A and B are shown apart, each in its own frame.
Chain A
């Protein structure tokens, strides 16, 4: 009898090929006759294209084709908007720029040549005459009167403006004993998966079909939009995200110009074409997250009860809005966090700038929201002379108040209703892990030694596991082994392990009897994608329910064959047998053969469809709200502004944990993103909209030196909204990190009375804070 593996530290089934150099990433694929593409990108952030001369490039013998906008014919289209919204004035990028350039890095031409070297040689020979125009490089100045316009028909560069809130906010503020107001500037950064983007496409002239491989988080989305762009039916396009995609973190969850251009070129030339993004292109053309400005206000009673919170948020969305206003909406709806707020209001302004389009990066607008709320909590604690943990505790939603209706709507249009959680327990556990209660003594001792150490708290609630759905097909073969197919495609999260764990328990099989096939639109008709911490909820429950159906089907067929009642049958170790009479058994393989119709003349039991197979699409009713508390300890060198992370403690609730090893890996990795977010990663643009630090020499990712091993505790509050009881965990590690660090740095520098209002906190910025108070 196999043991239950849900909840066990099952070692990853993905590792072996990756450890031995046998992984299969998109750029590893080669097809006979394959050509290589390179993209000419605009050097200007805003310019009019006067003319393009490609004749010299086309004349090279190694060049198969050069495409500019006018060569695209019916495919000269805007990339379709994913999430239209009446509150949004959407503007979308074309595959290749037509008249006007709107960000430095926008695609202008595509060269296809014998190899990448030849293709890049040809890029140098393309002559583009640009008329440079003044650019919008800063989100606040973009709103000012007289600012240049990113889109001439969008006045004030305002893509969207909306308000979310509840309660009588004016009354709350006018009646409050304490009102605090503070501006914050937050920044996120790029996804920077170690594998950049890559696309390979092949056109089969006889079948009139295109196969495309893409290092994407969302193959079904790519297939649908590519069919629209290329003017073919969906069945004519098959998109495969190879088994190995080298990280995603958000930016790979959207349709890019190259995902239209590469198959376009492959079809036009009748030869396979591959394009692989280099790191510089990833900086210039893969979507990012950047600045948000917050003008936050909090109203409280003298004993630290929050009466109201309001925030005017300005959001840099870049030159186009491929994800609509999803991300600003997430920011707005995440601000309340774990707190009971009687009144709340966010006024959101989404601004076009001449920069790379903004789409979600791990955390997706939440780190910025949490930053605003948690910083205000810390300021209020300071003002009221309360411990930062205590002021939070006084305002936390209690477990018995679940489900808790926040009073606003989420991005799926449903009311924000926290389904479950134990926020006080998370806070308490994280404090314990961090040694919070003994920290003040340590801090005093450190001060005496001239060392500045500080502790900071970040709490968050995250809407995870949003629909619409994900699906799974479970099929048992004549060998008795299982094939699990899902549209949810992994980028390192370990789907082939965790999803197999779920199926293994339901089918009473060993994990290794279950093969997992992901990310192939030819293998499962519908899928959404791996992003937004949604796979455990959506794909996990699909697997559970499909496996359950297969189990029931196997028992129904066995009942016919063994002439026993369903209730007397049991499934284990790859067969179905009569309870108490294990010799009266039929193997899953034999049942699969029977169900497939290999016994002519046999009649399937009533209501049982052919094939020992079931398909289930799980569609959650609303978000599953994960939560957690991070408590961090740092030491700040007041002379240099350098920060050393001394300790990182996490207590979090992602519902039932499928595989603690993998969950801890997600959190630890998320924390590393948070450390980058708080201290290192800033996309710095000049006034002309030029990215000044487009390399890993100037834009720093955290290394082994900067990321300590976090202490992690799982507080498992079962999610009542799905049969597995799970919530998402992919982003929680990142979300409160910047807020917690800002608090810890401020706490360390408490003797100097500085206020941290901005991330990233470079040593330079910390020195500037200290200089501001004469140090």
Chain B
């Protein structure tokens, strides 16, 4: 199959590559760029493990083709921590609240939450948070730590929006 050139920015760095039009974005990230922090859980857009931000908006990288990301700005879990490795507040809250066990779904949750707190900085009620997170599946934790982490971090974001 004929390959197409693509150029995109990921976590502030420029990447170029050649991909078959059918190549999914997640395979491009994982296989071609070795950005293996984004995971593949179902390949049909339900579990959310592969969530990344495309121009700041959460998308399923298993349902997005790499060529669709051409010319766009991506952010993956590798881009969350600060330049010196300091954890993003969401990451720190996940650690504090035992919001991860096997860690396979974690990247997807973190990216969905990043999008959530940016698009709805005033989110507060547990019910609302739970509804907003229902697009990501976790099989280990039973979600309580994840919800607790988001409640805490949302309160911080309301105080000092970044």
Q: Which residues of A contact B (CB under 8 A)?
A: 11-12, 14-23, 25, 27-28, 30, 115-117, 192-196, 244-247, 249, 276, 278-280, 491-494, 661-662, 664-665, 668-673, 695-697, 701, 703-705, 707, 709-710, 733
Which residues from B are CB-within-8-Å of A21? 35-38, 76-78, 80, 107
Contact of A193 among B76, B96, B139, B145 (CB under 8 A): B139
Question: Which residues from chain A contact B147 at a C-beta distance below 8 Å?
Answer: 704, 709
Which single member of B23, B31, B49, B131 contacts A194 (CB below 8 Å)?
B49
Contacts of A696 in B (CB 8 A): 42, 44, 46-47, 137
Q: A279–B35 contact, CB under 8 A?
A: no
**CA–CA, A244 and B142, complex, Å:** 19
Who on chain A is nearest to B104 by CB? A246
Q: Which residue of A lies closest to B90 (CB)?
A: A19
B-side contacts of A278, CB under 8 Å: 40, 43
User: With an 8 A cutoff between CB atoms, is B158 at the interface?
Assistant: no
A-B contact sample (13 more), CB < 8 A, given A16-B95, A672-B143: A18-B100, A20-B80, A21-B38, A22-B37, A193-B104, A195-B41, A195-B102, A280-B43, A668-B143, A695-B44, A701-B139, A703-B137, A703-B143
Contacting residues, chain A, for B153 (C-beta < 8 A): none
A-B contact count (CB 8 A): 182
- A669 contact from B22, B36, B39, B142, Cβ within 8 A: B142
Contact A247 B104 (CB under 8 A): yes
**Alpha-carbon distance between A192 and B87 when the two chains are bound, in angstroms:** 29
Contacts of A671 in B (CB 8 A): 142
Closest to A30 in B: B34
Cβ–Cβ < 8 Å partners of A661 in chain B: 98
- In the A-B complex, the 4 residue pairs with the closest CB atoms: A21-B37, A492-B102, A18-B103, A246-B104
CA distance A672 to B129 in the complex (A): 18
A15-B94, A18-B103 given; A117·B22 CB < 8 A: yes
- Give the Cβ gap from A107 to chain B, nearest Cβ, in Å: 19
Q: Would B91 and A19 count as touching, CB distance under 8 A?
A: yes
Tell me which residues across on chain A come within 8 A of B117, comparing CB atoms: none
> When chains A and B are docked, how far (Å) is the Cα of A662 from the Cα of B138?
16
Given contacts A20-B37, A669-B142, A703-B137, contact A244 B103 (CB under 8 A): yes
Q: Is the interface of B mostly helix, strand, loop or mixed?
A: loop
* Contact A117:B134 (CB < 8 A) given known A22-B37, A195-B41: no
Tell me the smallest distance from the CB of B21 to a CB of chain A, in Å. Answer: 11
How close is B123's CB to chain A, nearest CB, in angstroms? Answer: 13
**Chain B residues within 8 Å of A18, by CB:** 100, 103, 106
A-B contact pairs, 23 of them (CB 8 A): A15-B95, A19-B80, A19-B95, A19-B106, A21-B80, A23-B104, A27-B40, A244-B104, A247-B140, A278-B40, A492-B103, A664-B98, A665-B140, A672-B139, A695-B44, A695-B46, A696-B44, A704-B129, A704-B131, A705-B131, A709-B143, A709-B144, A733-B142
- A-contacting residues, B35-92, CB 8 Å: 35-44, 46-47, 49, 76-78, 80-81, 85, 87, 91
B25 CB within 8 Å of chain A = no
- Shortest distance from the beta carbon of A510 to any chain B beta carbon, whole Å: 18
Give complex CA distance A247, B105 in Å.
10
- Distance, CA A664 to CA B20, complexed state (A): 46
B6 located at the interface, meaning its Cβ lies under 8 Å from any Cβ of chain A in the complex: no
Known: A20-B81, A194-B49. A491 touches B134 (CB 8 A): no
- Cβ contacts under 8 Å, B143 to chain A: 668, 672, 703-704, 707, 709
Note all chain B residues with C-beta closer than 8 A to A664.
98
CB contacts (< 8 Å) of B27 on chain A: these are 116
Complex formed: what's the CA distance from A282 to B53 in Å?
Answer: 27
Q: Which residue of A lies closest to B37 (CB)?
A: A21
A492 to B142, CA, bound (A): 13
* Contact of B141 (CB < 8 Å), options: A16, A22, A668, A695: A668
- Please report which residues of chain B, range 6-39, place their CB below 8 angstroms from some CB of chain A when the two chains form the complex: 20, 22-23, 27, 30-31, 34-39
Q: Which residue of B lies closest to A192 (CB)?
A: B139
Question: In whole angstroms, what is the CA distance A22 to B85 when docked?
Answer: 12
Q: How far is the CA of A493 from the CA of B39 in the complex (A)?
A: 19
Contact present for A703 and B42 (CB under 8 Å): no
Q: Are A117 and B95 in contact (CB under 8 A)?
A: no
| CB of B156 within 8 Å of the partner chain | no
A518 to chain B, nearest CB (A): 13
- Report the separation of the CA atoms of residues A739 and B38 in the bound assembly, to the nearest whole angstrom: 37
Contact B20 A117 (CB under 8 A): yes
Report A-chain residues with C-beta under 8 Å of the C-beta of B142: 665, 668-672, 707, 709-710, 733
Complex CA distance for A656 and B10, rounded to whole angstroms: 47
Contact B87 A194 (CB under 8 A): no
Q: Which residues of A contact B118 (CB under 8 A)?
A: none
Given the complex, which residues of A lie within 8 Å of B141, measured CB to CB? 665, 668-669, 672
What are the residues of chain B within 8 A of A19 when measuring CB–CB? 77, 80-81, 87, 91, 94-95, 100, 103, 106, 110
A536 to chain B, nearest CB (A): 15
Q: A247-B104, A697-B44 are in contact. Are A665 and B145 (CB under 8 A)?
A: yes
Q: How far is the CB of A190 from chain B (nearest CB, A)?
A: 10
List the A residue with the shortest CB-CB distance to B92. A19
Residues on A with C-beta less than 8 A from B133 are: 703-704
Task: Looking at the assembled complex, report how far the CB atom of B60 sits from the nearest CB atom of chain A, in whole angstroms.
Answer: 12
Decide if B146 is an interface residue (CB 8 Å cutoff). yes
Q: How far is the CB of B65 from chain A (nearest CB, A)?
A: 12
Could you tell me if B43 and A279 are in contact, using CB atoms closer than 8 angstroms? yes
CB interface residues, B 105-162, toward A, < 8 Å: 105-107, 110, 129-131, 133-148
Residues in A whose Cβ lies below 8 Å from that of B38: 21
Contact A11 B95 (CB under 8 A): yes
Contact B137 A11 (CB under 8 A): no
CA distance A670 to B144 in the complex (A): 12
> Which of these, A11, A14, A30, A701, contacts B103 with CB under 8 Å?
A14
Closest to B130 in A: A704
Q: Closest residue to A248 on the B side, CB-wise?
A: B102
Which residue of the partner chain B has the closest CB to A9? B98
A669 pairs with B80, CB closer than 8 A: no
- Which of A195, A244, A661 lies at the interface centre, i.e. has the most chain B CB atoms within 10 A of its CB? A195
Q: Are A704 and B134 in contact (CB under 8 A)?
A: yes
Q: Name A708's closest neighbour in chain B (CB-CB).
A: B144
A245: chain B residues at CB < 8 Å are 102
Residues of B within 8 A of A733 (CB): 142
CB pair B49–A117 under 8 Å, yes or no, is no
Give bound CA distance, A703 to B136, whole Å.
7
Contacts of A20 in B (CB 8 A): 37, 77-78, 80-81, 85, 87, 91
> Given the complex, which residues of B lie within 8 Å of A709, measured CB to CB?
142-144, 147-148
Knowing A11-B96, A661-B98, A662-B98, the reply to whether A710 touches B144 (Cβ < 8 A) is yes
Cα distance, A467 to B101, chains bound together (Å): 25
A194 touches B22 (CB 8 A): no
Among B106, B131, B144, which residue has its beta carbon within 8 angstroms of that of A668? Answer: B144
Residues of B with C-beta under 8 A to A244:
102-104
CA distance A662 to B140 in the complex (A): 11
Alpha-carbon separation in the docked complex, A730 to B136 (Å) = 23
Q: Are B137 and A194 closer than 8 Å at their CB atoms?
A: yes
- Residues on A with C-beta less than 8 A from B95 are 11-12, 15-16, 19
If A117-B23, A669-B141 touch, whether A25 touches B91 (CB-CB below 8 Å) is no
Q: Taking CB as reference atom, which chain A residue is nearest B132?
A: A704
